[in-house]
Amino acid sequence: QVQLVESGGGLVQAGGSLRLSCAASGRSFSRSAMGWFRQAPGKEREFVAEIWWTGDSLLYADSVKGRFTISRDNAKNTVYLQMNSLKPEDTAVYYCAATERGLTIRNPQNNYWGQGTQVTVSS
């Protein structure tokens, strides 16, 4: 059974930082893209960042470029999201996503999902 478990969310003041982690179990995603989405109250889930299995192809939503950094440790089957200079509009539930080899998480119908972790940024 595949499981993605996020951790690291919480409450932080604007301008602060958080680091999210997502540990996968049940199968290896070392040859697959992984990444993050988020969903704010009353809004649709949106793409945040993606990293290919090689670690050398990174994609970010325009809203987080220059502030968020995605990385991964294939040996640990884990993906990370370092979030700096946080803004109140970053408040959302953050979901980890992984997909099958050769696919992108930006086509979410093929994704495995975590249960989500809440990030709240106060002004």
pLDDT in the model for residue 56:
79
Q: Tokens representing 100?
A: 């099958």
Say how far apart CA 109 and CA 113 lie, in whole Å. 10
Task: Show the tokens assigned to 9.
Answer: 């969310």
Q: Which residues contact 62 (CB under 8 A, 6 or more apart)?
A: none
- Report residue 7's pLDDT band, with 50, 70 and 90 as the boundaries: very high
Query: pLDDT band at 57, cuts 50/70/90?
Result: confident
Going by pLDDT thresholds of 50, 70 and 90, the confidence category of residue 98 is very high
Q: In what order do the strands lie in the sheet with 18-25?
A: 3-7, 18-25, 78-83, 68-73
